Amino acid sequence: MPELKFEPKIEEEKKPEEVSEIHGEPQEQELGQEFVRRELEEDKAEKELRKASYVVAIQMMNEARNEFPESIKTILYKKVTGAKLTKSEKGSLFKVLSLWWRKKFGMDFFHRNLGEEEIEVLKKKGKGSYKHDPNVEMNEIFQRLKNQNKKIQKRDNVAPAKNQKTETKLKKLTKQKKEKTLKLYRALANLDKGEPVDEFRDEMRRTIFYDEDSSNYFILEAGTKKDLNIADILSDYAWGIKYVPDGEMVEPAYRIIAKRILTNEVRRNLESIYDEELTVRFKIDGGIRRVIDRVFEKDWFAILTNKDLKTPIAVLAGVVAEAMARELTNRLSYKQNLSFFVERANTLEDNKYKYDFKIRTTITRRGVGVGDEAEVKKRIKKIGVQFTIISKNRGKIQQVMEAKKQYASELPVDDIVLIRINSFEFANAYTRWLKEGKPSGGPEQFLSEELKQQLLEAVMQGLV
């Protein structure tokens, strides 16, 4: 994977002009100078945040490059390897980046550091709109993303009326996004400068080592070497497991894996914040769990030991099974080099459109012609997956059918499939994983090969 060339200075900082003399009483002069000082500090902070936003967005886009068409991947590759982009390529990259960020995190890249009132003012002035490139393929990409975002905006317009409490909560969440973005930006800068990263000071993180002979990452569990690939490292965060590269790891292996770890964590955290925003805005239950935390683990053992009978075990078992199905599918797609990619659904998709995660693939079809002259058409296909461990669940079937019918014109996916695997194996695997001290690789490692194959075949069938 190409490593992003971090540029700490995107634009030259201009030194603030000397503050002119402020006339008036001594107390007024002091207050005036304090006001000017704060204005300059806020302007400097905003500039850093804008730089941070762009660097972080490019880093995340690079990590998620398989979500984009080949034409965008080519431009992105040039960007992260330091190659010079044409004016058209710069415009194309920024447009797709802007629209993608809106879809993933709830705000356009151009606007995401502003408050909602400021955004409305900009919309009325016509700022933040994007003109199409003359390139036909790019037009199709932009149009598809813009259509998706129009649906999001239309949805937001019919959201319940806000009150003061809602406004306060939304502003707090927006602030959290800024803080997460800025922290990642500074961490990436420190990595490139060879300086310590604060996030890696967490003693609960597990150390990853690197085998130079095999070019593989591994950890030591009870003195035993255990290989991990990038899918394991990224998916384990869903189960609350965080990693840190060994300080003696050679470059560039250290910097590459460190960036991927930090970017994955922040992206999932931003997704969680967006889930909270959707929950607040639409007054819905936050069904999606990005990370199975310790509170959940405590509830799980409480129910198993009959200390808490208020929450049915089937409810928690369903949450565990959904997370395991999503992360197992993600691991398998990486390990077996399969032609599809897993995307996490947000809480509104889960609540409204009735799917737990998405599968994305590229469908290739040959048209008229023979051999190399045959016309090749590629189309991106997405399916939403609703997963259940209950064999006879008419309620789930009815929900999926109603969602497909009611929201046919606005579905973010081409189709929704219901995958049913009636098994207690998911719950048993999760319990075993907890009892064994939560080893790296997640609870999915304790599922039988037969069940893994069953799930994979069901997903592949859904794509067909």
Query: How many whole angstroms separate alpha carbon 382 and alpha carbon 360?
Result: 4
Which are the contacts of 237, defined by CB distance < 8 A and separation ≥ 6? 264, 265, 268, 291
Give the number of C-alpha atoms closer than 13 A to the C-alpha of residue 375, restricted to the C-beta side: 4
Average pLDDT, the chain: 77
pLDDT for res 207: 96
67 exposure class (CB count in 10 Å sphere: 0-12, 13-18, 19+):
middle
Which range is least confidently modeled, 146-150, 377-381, 440-444? 146-150
User: Looking at 105-114, 137-146, 372-381, which range is the least confident one?
Assistant: 137-146
pLDDT digits (tens, 9 = 90+) for 15-69: 444 433 444 455 545 554 554 455 455 566 667 777 787 888 888 888 888 888 8
Q: How far apart are CA 144 and CA 206, in angstroms?
A: 41
> Does 263 score more than 50 pLDDT?
yes
Q: For residue 177, what are the CA distances in angstroms to 106, 298, 397?
A: 11, 28, 36
- What are the structural domain ranges in the chain? 26-162, 285-464
- pLDDT of 204 higher than 90: yes
Least confident of 51-65, 109-123, 153-167, 290-304: 109-123
Residues 5 and 81: beta-carbon distance below 8 Å: yes
Of residues 314 and 387, the one with the higher pLDDT is 387
Instruction: Spell out the residues 6+ positions from residue 239 whose beta carbon is closer than 8 angstroms to its own.
Output: 291, 292, 323, 327, 433, 438, 442, 443
For residue 168, the surrounding DSSP H or E stretch is helix 164-193
Other beta carbons within 10 angstroms of residue 226's beta carbon come to 13
**Does pLDDT of 188 surpass 50?**
yes
Average the pLDDT over each of 267-271, 277-281, 293-297, 326-330 and give the range with the smallest value: 293-297
pTM here is 0.76
pLDDT over threshold 70, residue 340:
yes
pLDDT at position 283, please? 81
Cα distances from 11 to residues 48, 69, 95, 254, 302, in angstroms, run 10, 30, 20, 28, 55
pLDDT digits (tens, 9 = 90+) for 194-203: 899 999 999 9
